[in-house]
Structure 1
Amino acid sequence: MSAVVAPARPAPAGPAAVSRRVSAWARRVLRVVVTTATVFLITSFGTYALGALSKTNPAAAVLGETATPADIARMNHQFGLDRPLLTQYASWLGHAFTGDLGTSYFTSIPVSASIRQALPVDLAITGLAALFAVLIGGTAGIAAALNGGGRLDRSVTAVCSVLSTIPGFVVGIVLIVMFSATLRILPAGGYVSLTTDPVQWFRCMLMPSFALSLTLAAHIARQLRTSLVATLRENYIVGATVRGLSRRRVLLRHALRNALGPTLGILAVGVPALLSGSVPTERIFNLPGVALLTLQSSERHDVPVIQGTLLVTVATVLVCNLVLGALLARFTPQARR
């Protein structure tokens, strides 16, 4: 009788293989860091140049119409506006890395202090809007894909087509009329910090976040529905179903994971859209966020505040894209390659 030979186990990875994997990971991280830093430098320079090259003279705006040329020249020297553009940019960026974004020309309040006070409002609106968009769009997209061609699928597609064309501020006005003016169950505007009253904070954030989320939710639902329908027709999904795996396991462990790539791409593009779309939303609901601060500063040509808020917005968008890129690499195997 011949002896039964056990299958050979794969040899453990040696130091050379581990070193190659670590080296490949380090190269990927370095490439991401270099790309992000390059984008940040280009956008930050464009942000500063827009303010520095504008036709409005901040010194003249601060001093008023009675200012003489000598007064304007003295104020320009005090602001450092008589130096070359690259010198101004290098000094501004160097101070920005230490948290010093300059001082408002009109209020003399440090820009960083104004942004620290306003930024939590934008982060709350954007975060809740993204959460609502994922929950609403994800649920609708999965339901439509599982009922492909049916009434639910057609209904979801029709509703998403309508929602994707309605601006967030229009939805906000409708919500104010319904839940504030008519039902009187939610505040029409204002802001309370999370640490002061969490319940009232959520009540103040609920309508603006929901209004801001619907457009992104519609895009997520349509993209997820399209990707999931195509994935469910793949051979490996059919094979998993034939082997007796439950429908829930096939959907969550196999189909949904491979269909998430394009949807995360939509989310990566949608986060900057949420930040930009918060300007009219904050004005309608009277929320003291960075978007409203930027709008008010642009109306009075307060250049340091405009430059500081745009720089913080760019940094926030880059961080969000890095996080979503990491999620994309985590959930979609093809993104790792």
Structure 2
Amino acid sequence: MTAVEFDAPAGLTGRGAGVPLSRWAAQWGMAVLRLLRSTLFVGIPVVLIATIITYGLGALTDTNPAAQVLGETATPADIDRMNHYFGLDRPLVVQYLSWLGHALTGDLGRSYYTTLPVTDSISQALPVNLSITLLAVLIAVLLGGALGIGAALSGGGWFDRGVTLLCSAASTVPPFVIGIGLIVLFSVTVPILPSGGYVPFSEDPGRWLRFAILPAIALAVEGAVAIARQLRTSLVGELRENYVTGADVRGLTKLRVVFGHALRNAAGPAITVLGYSIPQIIGAMVVAEAVFNLPGLGKLSLDAAGKGDIPVIQGVLVTMIGLVVVSNLLVNAALLRLTPHARRQQP
């Protein structure tokens, strides 16, 4: 039998047949520069606008942080000294520009109430958010990937229909409802996991996983559903391409064709969906902290909001925006790595 020749798409190989190394490196370098430029172009204005709004809302309130910190027995002179210590006696624009200049060096100011550096409070709460968010993203990728691939390979079979029905039902349930359901199931009905609390990963990885798994699953469901749907659709389309037919004729196994070729080309849209899901997971983490009693950034910001502690709120806001920007940068980098033809989409 004569071998059938077929042209694999550019995503099949890291560099592409016949592409000189120098040209490939130039394409990769230009893609990375475009990625950094677009990320900074969007991220910097978002940070500035968000911080300006926060300062503006703080200025509209009638509360005086100095008076609240010192209590009812404070004299006007004491309040003036405290305002001067925190720089609250300066115009709002000057306060904001001063804070922004210090923030660029990593100094987010001091809490009005504890006078502790805001960076210290954030550094204690941030590992909670990072660890559970990373676990949730991992679960979303693995679960969504498995469901999407299985549904695509089923091709209209019972598993495909079951995944479609499951995704339709799960997409209507918010994360906090899923979290409450998980607590009822695994902490009350079948008490095998704790209903709340947190243990640092560095202290005891096993106990950390026991405390982190339920909130991570609650946060991962929405992302897993989105990934499964997108991956199923794109993979079904790839399996109908000519290069897949040619690979079958050449005798390549189904697993090799799917996981070695088709999946890589179908992963682009799913990775894009993942990029949208990560900010949602980061935002929903605030609600998960309340449901599972986690000492993360959400609890820190809620406590600060109740006291009018603007420096802490501002620091948490900037940190969460930074997490979103970094996550989008990583997702876009993964998209460029897995789909090299994306490097040539822009001039």
Question: TM-score, normalising length from structure 1?
Answer: 0.88
What's 1:291 paired with?
A: 298
Q: 1:133 aligns with which of 131, 140, 158?
A: 140
What's 2:240 paired with?
A: 233
- For 1:166 and 1:307, how far apart are their aligned partners in 2? 31
| 2:28 and 2:343 in contact (8 A); partners too | no
What's 1:6 paired with?
A: none
- For 2:18 and 2:187, how far apart are their aligned partners in 1? 67
Q: 1:142 aligns with which of 139, 144, 149?
A: 149
| 2:69 and 2:112 in contact (8 A); partners too | yes
1:93 positional shift = 2.6
| 1:279 and 1:295 in contact (8 A); partners too | no
1:110 aligns with 2:117: yes
Write out aligned runs for 1:1-337 (5 A).
Answer: 18=22, 25-54=28-57, 55-56=60-61, 57=63, 58-63=65-70, 74-337=81-344
| 2:122 and 2:297 in contact (8 A); partners too | yes
1:33 positional shift = 2.9
Letter paired with 1:275: I
- For 2:18 and 2:171, how far apart are their aligned partners in 1? 54
- For 1:161 and 1:237, how far apart are their aligned partners in 2? 30
- For 1:270 and 1:174, how far apart are their aligned partners in 2? 21
| 2:289 and 2:298 in contact (8 A); partners too | yes
- For 1:250 and 1:70, how far apart are their aligned partners in 2? 77
| 1:142 and 1:225 in contact (8 A); partners too | yes
| Partner secondary structure for residue 185 of structure 1 | coil
What's 2:10 paired with?
A: none
1:236 positional shift = 1.6
Letter paired with 1:286: N
| 2:35 and 2:332 in contact (8 A); partners too | no
Shift of the 27–127 alpha-carbon distance from structure 1 to 2, 3 Å rule, reads: same
Shift of the 319–187 alpha-carbon distance from structure 1 to 2, 3 Å rule, reads: same
1:314 positional shift = 1.1
Unaligned runs of 5+ in 2: 1-16
1:162 positional shift = 0.8
- For 2:19 and 2:26, how far apart are their aligned partners in 1? 18
| 2:31 and 2:343 in contact (8 A); partners too | no
- For 1:272 and 1:336, how far apart are their aligned partners in 2? 24
- For 1:28 and 1:72, how far apart are their aligned partners in 2? 54
Shift of the 272–183 alpha-carbon distance from structure 1 to 2, 3 Å rule, reads: same
1:69 positional shift = 6.8
| Partner secondary structure for residue 116 of structure 2 | coil
Q: What is the identity percentage for the equivalent residue pairs of Structure 1 and Structure 2?
A: 53
- For 1:137 and 1:46, how far apart are their aligned partners in 2? 34
Shift of the 23–157 alpha-carbon distance from structure 1 to 2, 3 Å rule, reads: closer
| 1:164 and 1:216 in contact (8 A); partners too | no
Shift of the 25–327 alpha-carbon distance from structure 1 to 2, 3 Å rule, reads: closer
| Partner secondary structure for residue 115 of structure 2 | coil
- Between 164-173 and 68-77, report the one with greater CA deviation: 68-77
- For 2:19 and 2:280, how far apart are their aligned partners in 1? 47
- For 1:12 and 1:290, how far apart are their aligned partners in 2? 47
- Between 54-63 and 157-166, report the one with greater CA deviation: 54-63
Letter paired with 1:42: P
Shift of the 11–327 alpha-carbon distance from structure 1 to 2, 3 Å rule, reads: closer
1:318 positional shift = 1.2
- For 1:61 and 1:235, how far apart are their aligned partners in 2? 71
- For 2:116 and 2:139, how far apart are their aligned partners in 1? 35
- For 1:66 and 1:286, how far apart are their aligned partners in 2? 35
Could you give the per-residue CA deviations for residues 129-157 of structure 1, whole angstroms, max 9, x where no partner exists?
A: 11111111110111101112111111100
- Between 131-140 and 94-103, report the one with greater CA deviation: 94-103
